Structure 1
Amino acid sequence: MKRYQKFILFFVVAILLAVAWQIIIPGNWRPINANPPIQVAQATQTRLEQEIQSRGYTFIVGPNSATNRPLNRLAGTKIPPNALQLVRRQTPLTQATLNRLPRSNGQNQGVCSRNARTFDWREYSKVTPVRDQGSCGSCWAFAAMAAFESSALFHNDINYEQVGTMADGSEQQILSCSGAGSCNGGWYYPVFEFLRKDGTVLEQSFRYQGLDLTCPALTNALKFQAETWGFVRDDIEVPPVEDIKAALCEHGTLAVAVNATELFQWYTGGVFNEFNQQGVNHAVTLVGWDDDKGAWLMKNSWGSGWGDLGYMWIAYGSNNIGYLAAWVDARKFIEDDENQPNPQPNPIPDPTPSCPPGTPPFRCPKSNSGV
C-alpha cells in the first residue's frame, strides 16, 4: 500500500512540474544550441550579404576558421589614449640607433620600390606562414612577431625556405614574458622594446598554447634580438599611403592596428572596403600593396582558414588600417653559449665549410658573420 501511495505522489508531482514548466517558460523558448550551428551561420551570412549588397561593398563573406569564436577574443589590441605621446618619445631613440647602423644586406638589395604599382614580400620569401592565435586575444603578439620574423629574413637577405622553423619566433614567450598584455589584450609597442632588450626564443623552445602561462626560465634557448624599432609617423595615427609604402620597402613588413568588425571576421575574399572608422581593436601585419586594387595585402593571425588563406586585401584607409604602423629591425642576434643546445637550420647544400651562401649570419663563425 505504501508503495502505491509513493507512486501516486510521484505521478502527481511530475504532472505539477510539467504544468509549471509550460507556464513559466515562454512558448518560443529553445534550449541553448538547439538550432544546428550551420543554421545560425547561414542566417548570419545571409544578413551580412544583404548588408554588403545594400552598401555596395566589394568583398564576400562566409563561415571560416574565425567565425565560431567570439570577436572580442580574436581582436585583443588595446592601445592607450596617450599612444602618440609614447610614439614621440621613442622617435629620438630610434633615430639615434639608425644613424649608426649601416644599411643591411636586405636594404642594399633594393627589390622594393615605393613607386611600384604592386608589391608583395611573399614573392621574395620574406614572410613566415600564417599562424592561429586561437581564442586568446593575443593578436598584438602575433602581429609583432610576424613583423620581427620577416625583418630577420629581410635584413639578413635570407629566404624562409632556407631556414624554415629557425625563423619562427615564440609568440607564447611574448604572451607570457614581455609584459605587453595577456589573452585579454595588449599592444605591440612594449613587445618591440622587449625584443630589443631581451630577445625572443624559437617557437620550438616555447610552443604556443594560447594561455596566460607563467614565464619560464629559458636560459638554454637560442635567442634572437632586435636592433631597434620605430613608427612610420609620430605625428598622426594613420600614416599616408605613400609613407607606409616607403616603410614597407625600407624596413620590411609592418605591424599595424585595424578595426575588426563582424564583416571583417566573416571575410573570405575580394577587397574589403567597409570603412568603419570607429576606433581600432585588432593588430595585423602589412606585407604588400596593389594600387590597381587600391588595397593593402594584410596578414592575419586567425589561421589559414580565414580570408584568402589567412590574408586579406583591405582598401587603403578602410577600418583605420595602418593605425600606428610600426616596424622592427631584427638584423641583430644573440649567440648562444657553445656548451648549450644549438638548434640547426634546415640543411642547405654547401661546398664551403665556413659560411655557405644562404646560411643565416648568426649560424656562421664570427669572423664571417658580420655580427
Structure 2
Amino acid sequence: MQRAVRLRPAMARARLKVFSFTTTEEVALTSFDWRDQIHVVARHQGNCESCTAFAVAAAIELAAIIAKRAVRIPVGYFHTCIGHPGNADADQICGSGVDLSYMLGAIRDDGFPSNAPDSYPFPANRCGMGGARFKLKSFDEITSVTNAKTAIRSGPILADMEVTKKFFDFKGRIYRQPDASTTTLHTVCIIGFNSTGWIILNSMGRSWGDGTGCATVPYGTGFILDPKVRQAYSLSL
C-alpha cells in the first residue's frame, strides 16, 4: 500500500550551497551529544502542525548558545508569520505545516523581529511589527551521513522524517518505528548521534522520549537524513 504522507507546499525559495566531497570515508567519531555540553530545552508544539517552526527555533536557539550569542527565538512568529504570511485564519494556520527549506530561506532572506514576543499561537494581526531583524547567514543541504556527522559537531541540524501516530506519544530511549501503511511528515532538530542512530530533540515536551524530550532514531528509520527522500540542512548564524 502506498504511504499516505502529509506533503508541505513545494516552495522554491531557498538558494542552496550543496556540499561536495572527495572521500566516502565515514567520520571516525562514533558518538556525540550536545546535551553533554549545553543545556537543551524541549518545547511542546501542542496540537498544531508547527513542528517545522519548533525544530527551526530549537536549532537556532542552540546554535546561538554554542556561539555565545543572545538571540530571542519567537517560535510562534515563525509558524504564523513566516509560515503563513497574509493568513488570518487561526484554524488554518494551526492545521497547516510549513516546508522546511521555505522557512529557512525566509529567515535567511527576511529574518524575524528580535523584539517579537514569545507568544504561541502567535496572533496574525501582529505579524507586521517592526524593529531590528535577525537573519540566518546561510543554510546548507546535508547530502550524506559523513556530512551530517561533521555538521553536528559544529551545531544542531534539521531534518524531515516520516513517522506513525505512535511516535508522538513515544516513551523510551530508542524509537523503533512500527510497520504502518500511513505515515506523516515531521521535522526534528538533530543534536547528536551514536552507534545506533541519530539523537533527535523533538517538539512534544520534556516528557517525550527518554525524559529530556529526546530519543535515538536508528539509522534509516523514517527516511531520516536520506537525501534521496527527505530534506535535511545545517545552518549558520
Q: TM-score range by the shorter chain?
A: 0.7 to 0.9
Does 1:217 find its partner at 2:146? no
Does 1:90 find its partner at 2:15? yes
Amino acid at match of 2:233: A
Mapped partners of 2:141, 2:158: distance in 1: 9
TM-superposed deviation, 1:276: 4.9
Mapped partners of 1:279, 1:230: distance in 2: 26
Partner of 2:166: 263
The C-alpha deviation readout for 1:189-218, integer Å capped at 9, x for no partner, is 12111211222235x732232256234333
Change over 3 Å in CA distance of 1:320–1:215 after alignment to 2: farther
Partner of 2:215: 312
Structure 1: runs of 5 or more not aligned: 1-75, 96-112, 234-238, 331-371
Task: Give secondary structure in 2 for the equivalent of 1:206.
Answer: coil
Mapped partners of 2:6, 2:124: distance in 1: 19
Displaced runs of 4 or more, over 6 A? none
Mapped partners of 1:228, 1:207: distance in 2: 24
2:82 to 175, 178, 181: 178
The count of corresponding residues between Structure 1 and Structure 2 is 213
The C-alpha deviation readout for 1:56-103, integer Å capped at 9, x for no partner, is xxxxxxxxxxxxxxxxxxxx97345x68xx59x733xx36xxxxxxxx
Structure number with greater CO (CA < 8 Å, separation at least 6) is 2
Does 1:232 find its partner at 2:142? yes
Change over 3 Å in CA distance of 1:77–1:286 after alignment to 2: farther
TM-superposed deviation, 1:326: 0.9
Change over 3 Å in CA distance of 1:206–1:194 after alignment to 2: same
Structure 2: runs of 5 or more not aligned: 19-25, 86-92
Aligned CA RMSD, in angstroms, stands at 3.0
Partner of 2:197: 295
Amino acid at match of 1:208: S
Partner of 2:56: 144
Partner of 2:234: 327
TM-superposed deviation, 1:128: 4.4
Change over 3 Å in CA distance of 1:231–1:275 after alignment to 2: farther
Say if 1:259 and 1:276, in contact at 8 Å, map to a contact too: no
Mapped partners of 1:320, 1:153: distance in 2: 29
2:102 to 176, 187, 190: 190
Say if 2:15 and 2:105, in contact at 8 Å, map to a contact too: no
Larger-Rg structure: 1
Amino acid at match of 2:150: A
Task: Give secondary structure in 1 for the equivalent of 2:130.
Answer: coil
Change over 3 Å in CA distance of 1:311–1:129 after alignment to 2: same
Give the number of the structure whose residues are more often helix, by fraction.
1
Change over 3 Å in CA distance of 1:180–1:217 after alignment to 2: closer
Say if 2:164 and 2:178, in contact at 8 Å, map to a contact too: no
Mapped partners of 1:257, 1:280: distance in 2: 10
Describe how 1:1-371 pairs up with structure 2 within 5 A. 78-80=7-9, 86=12, 90-91=15-16, 94=17, 114-125=27-38, 128-154=40-66, 156=67, 158=68, 166-179=70-83, 182-183=93-94, 184-202=96-114, 205-210=116-121, 213-220=124-131, 222-233=132-143, 239=144, 241-250=145-154, 252-274=155-177, 276=179, 280-291=184-195, 294-308=196-210, 309-322=212-225, 323-330=230-237
TM-superposed deviation, 1:287: 0.3
Q: TM-score when scaled to structure 2?
A: 0.77
Mapped partners of 1:212, 1:139: distance in 2: 18
Change over 3 Å in CA distance of 1:213–1:167 after alignment to 2: same
Say if 1:275 and 1:319, in contact at 8 Å, map to a contact too: no
Say if 2:75 and 2:120, in contact at 8 Å, map to a contact too: no
TM-superposed deviation, 1:226: 0.8
Amino acid at match of 1:144: V
Partner of 2:21: none
